[in-house]
A and B are shown apart, each in its own frame.
Chain A
Amino acid sequence: MSAAGPKAAAPIKTPDFFLVTVTEGQSLRSLAATYLGDSGKWWQIAALNNVSRAVPGDTLVIARKDLHPGGLVPEGYRTVPVLAYLKLAGEKSGRLVVPRSAFERQMKFLRDNGYHPVSIDRLMDYLEMKSGLPPKAVVITFDNGWRSVYDIAYPILKKYGFPATVFIYTDFIGAPKALTWKQLREMAGHGISVQSQTLSLPDLTRLPPKAGLQDHIRHLDRELGQSKALIRKNIGAPCRYLAYPFGKTNDLVIAIAKKFGYRAGFTLNRGSNPFFVDNFKVRRSMIYGHYDLTQFAKNLKVFEPLELR
């Protein structure tokens, strides 16, 4: 605010907020990084002060905590879409194979339309009401661990600076068309989170014929426990999220996932996620190879209107 004079006054710090006079070269992102420890929280400053950018001389109130945990506003609540991709290919497409060009267009669409891809950890913090998310937040995930994620998706994601998550089934890693641990480690160092989709991608809900419940539990124990341990060992980072093979889960699978300390489980039930979604039934929308941008955009619902007064 120019009334504060051309020279920046020292910021005022209170338990609830900072009062900061913007100086030359500062932006909402840099202010968020300085005062909130996270440039991604720039939108909190923008929303509270009713501004879209920081102008030198302006005095801005920076709330020290999210004023809308859970994305609750009088008009409704925020939802977060989680996109699921399986395979990508140079040109050819199939129901579960997204061509490079389509993927590139989709990522560009996200950037051009103000979507903010966020990491899976940030999504979970949001679901647990620990922190907020930027407007139009979206999560990008890949299933199984196909090599095309490294060859096609990874360079595009890097180009746009988008974080993503790869759910791998560890028996597949190192197979001819699969990712290698080396590639996964490389991607993990550049904002791609590596998480579990079990050991061998079985239908976790199906009790094998002639197998007793206890045999089945032993099987699930191995699938969920060993894959988690392998990822931790090979990536050097904790594995805390589980994508259910084929998106299928049930109470027993969830109970075992909880026993192993998984923080959340991801289905393939289409739809966006409000903060109060069951953490072990997070919805994901599979993006098919034949989708055009209109069909793609239908999976990007970020707000649920509801009168909350």
Chain B
Amino acid sequence: MKRLLPLTVAVCLACLAAGCSSTWTRLKATIASPAQHYRDLALAKEKEDRLHEAILLWKAVRRLEAGDKTAEKAIRKLKKTARERARRHFAKGVNAYQQGDFARARLHFLTTLRYRPDHRGALDYLKNRLHRKEQVSYRIRKGDSLSTIAYRTYKDAELAPVIAYFNDLDPGRPIFPGKVLILPTLPAEYLRPPGAIEQLIIEAREKFSRGDLDGALALIGQIEPGSPHYKEARCLADKIYFRQAAELMKHRQFWEALERLKRVRPGFKGRDKAMARARENLKCQAMDDRLKLARTRLEEGAYLEARTVVEEILASEPGNQAAKSLMDAINYAIANQLLAEGKDQEAIAVLETIDPAYEDTAVLINDAQLRLNAAAETHYRNGVKYFLNEELELAIEQWQAALRLNPNLDKARRDIANARRLLEKLEALETGAYR
């Protein structure tokens, strides 16, 4: 190389004097290996920010000098740089686009594409989104017709055949949800200017589509029966009332929903079914309200009032399980109250009306019965004491009390009979019947 140095200098000077860059490139190449030549060229391209050219030239270097690791490293670095710059500019472009600064957005998308020519997003913005669209696509939804789509798009249902034309459809045949239609943008001068009433309907439709149902109804209300487009307005009113009813049903305001449905003209699709559903819900709701009332009364301790309400429900609907369960709860509460008051016998009577499996009903009945039996036994013994003291009438009272508490206490029944016989004999002796 040392021997070549003077030659190199001479060539450089000659080339500079000639002012010819391509000659310089070639002459430079004569004194360097092809790989070195492309390495230099790659670095120059990189400096000029022509990253893809630099990458390709580094690939040539790699191909010419298989062991050269600098080439591999440079390719990786340049690819990464290109990717990162593209990402950064694309983000800036989207941001500018969203802010409505389309010139700046275009600049960044162009830069993105320069760093990444295959960047689909940037290309889409440049070729499509930054241009005014002469047509849009629309996916057919359930309930759509060409007329409704035409109305929504052009405010003129009579333009349905235009949509049919652009989509090669027969305007007389139904369309199916899911199909994508092309809707051309029609220049404003081609569209029929709407009249005052049509304008009202258009505005009402817009309010309706935005969910402002009351606003839409207010506008529709301005259109007198018999005026042009009244039929159209009435159809829209039906839709509005129906939608209002649906909203009210969602909030369980069935009565109000039914009122709205009554305003929808008969024959409107879904009206009858919705009314039946509202009535059914109303009935259920009435039942629910009464059950709720009974539960409230139970919680307040107004057991008898609660029981009256539930009894009424069960009278009209004997199979109502919720009412039955509530009745058990009420009776259970009443029974406990009676037990607390020491009214075991009444408590047992109430407890016996409850499902034995409810809470500890069976145990309560048993305990109350044992207490009654013990009290009956006490009365019985008191009766015996009176009997032994020959106070027969008092004895009978005690045994009768025992029997009231325990009707199965046969010995009390026998002793009462015996005591009564003795009383009769004593009475006979006193009156002289015994002689």
Contacts and interface: CB of A to CB of B under 8 A. Distances in A.
B184 interface: yes
Interface in A68-83: 68-70, 72-74, 77
B162 A217 contact: yes
A133 to B, nearest CB: 15
Contacts of B186: 213, 251-252
Given A67-B56, A213-B162, A251-B134, A306 B184 contact: no
A70 B52 contact: no
Contact of B60 (A61, A70, A213, A254): A61
B114 A129 contact: no
Contacts of A113: none
Nearest to A76: B110
Interface residues of B, number: 52
A59 B34 contact: yes
Interface in B44-91: 44, 48-50, 52-53, 56-57, 59-60, 63-64
Contacts of A19: 60, 63-64
Interface SS, A side: mixed
Interface string A253-295: 0111011000000000000000010111100000000000000
Contact of A55 (B26, B41, B123): B26
A10 interface: no
Nearest to B183: A255
A63 interface: yes
A59 to B, nearest CB: 5
A214 interface: yes
Contact of B34 (A3, A74, A281): A3
A1 B30 contact: yes
Interface in A1-47: 1-4, 12, 14, 16-17, 19, 47
Contacts of B308: none
A250 B50 contact: no
Nearest to B187: A250
Contacts of A61: 38, 56-57, 60
Interface string A118-137: 00000000000100000000
- Nearest 3 interchain pairs by C-beta: A255-B184, A251-B134, A276-B126
Interface of B: 21-22, 25-26, 29-30, 32-34, 37-38, 41, 44, 48-50, 52-53, 56-57, 59-60, 63-64, 106-107, 110-111, 113-114, 117, 123, 126-127, 130-132, 134-135, 159, 161-162, 165-166, 182, 184-187, 189-191
